[in-house]
Amino acid sequence: MSDMLNRDQFANDVLSRYRKLTSASGLLEKSARSDAFAHAASMPSTGHPHFMHLGLGESGHCYGVSVFIDLVAFTSRTFWEEPEKVLRLNTAVMSQVAEVVQSCGGYILGLRGDGVFACFGDRNVRDPKVSAAFSMAACAFALDAVRNALNQLLEQSGMRPVQIRAGADYGRLDFVRIGSHEASEVNVVGFSANFAAKCEKFAHSWEVVIGEGLADLLPGDHYDRHKDSPKTYQQSYLTRHYHYHQVKWATYLQHLGGLREGLSGGSVGSIIY
């Protein structure tokens, strides 16, 4: 299937989700509420499957690419537009972006507000360049599909277009279950995940910004040094610099079909070398 057809399918699926959410926004019958609750309870939760077994206070780690894909200027939309309309559009777009991440071999670690937090990598990945390539392919497809297909469809439907951006970095990711015995979750701790979140904030609409840990895994002609780089960190009498870069993400669109076929529906760790 061509990139254009995939792109159009993404846009159509988002609009279809939006319309289903609109039709379901009213109060459900008692039996329907019960069925919906049972269905939701059976659905898999977010998180890295290799670390969901952790007990309270237990931890584990792997190396991988942390990715944040975020809707831009959605806070402003929640101020001006009807809350339910914004909620449905947010849900439809981010749900579809999450499916793109999964189809490219990533794990959904969290869905927060108007963004997706994902990880590409686990203990089975022998070559981190594989995780790097698939993470950038996912970001590229998401940005391209929203800008060049979804927004056209939204405007045709009388809706304002949306904008997205992405940030990512590579490094060690520590997973730890925190909370209490009554309520807990597995959180991700580590510099690369924190810096990936910062990269997402550095990015403007339609940009993918990455840290130097990830840049080291990509071909040098696939990115440019960010104009505001580096980020400076100081502790006691020490000063260190960490660079970040802007990815030429359109480069990855031409490789997307082959990359996704290589996965056969699995994660990047399932690839046989």
* Tens-digit pLDDT profile for residues 6-20: 889 999 999 999 998
Q: What is the pTM of this model?
A: 0.89
With 80 as the cut, is the pLDDT of residue 78 above it? no
Q: Is the pLDDT of residue 110 over 60?
A: yes
Query: Is 264 a residue whose pLDDT tops 70?
Result: no
What per-residue confidence (pLDDT) applies to 25? 57
Which amino acid makes up residue 26?
Answer: G
How far is it, in rounded angstroms, from Cα 168 to Cα 210?
5
Using pLDDT thresholds of 50, 70 and 90, give the confidence band for residue 77.
Answer: confident
Residue 228 Ramachandran class (φ > 0 left, ψ -120 to 50 alpha, else beta): alpha
- pLDDT confidence of 114, banded at 50, 70, 90? confident
Between 244 and 267, residue with greater pLDDT: 244
Q: Tell whether the model's pLDDT for residue 1 goes beyond 50.
A: no
Residue 272 has a pLDDT of: 58
Reading phi first (left if > 0) and then psi (alpha if -120 to 50, else beta), residue 179 is in: left
**Residue 206 exposed, middle or buried by CB count within 10 Å (0-12, 13-18, 19+):** middle
Phi, psi of 242 (to 5 degrees): -130, 120
- pLDDT score for 246: 98
Question: 27 pLDDT band (50/70/90 cuts)?
Answer: very low
The rounded mean pLDDT for the chain is 87
pLDDT of residue 39: 44
> What CATH class is the domain 3-23+47-270?
alpha beta
77-86, 190-199, 263-272, range with greatest mean pLDDT: 190-199
**Residue 262 banded pLDDT, cuts 50, 70, 90:** low
pLDDT on residue 84: 84
Length of the chain: 273
Tokens matching residue 16: 């279809």
Q: What is the pLDDT of residues 149-164, one digit of tens each?
A: 999 999 999 989 999 9
* Residue type for position 177: R
Query: Does residue 86 register a pLDDT over 90?
Result: no
Computed on alpha carbons and rounded to an integer, the radius of gyration of the chain in Å comes to 19
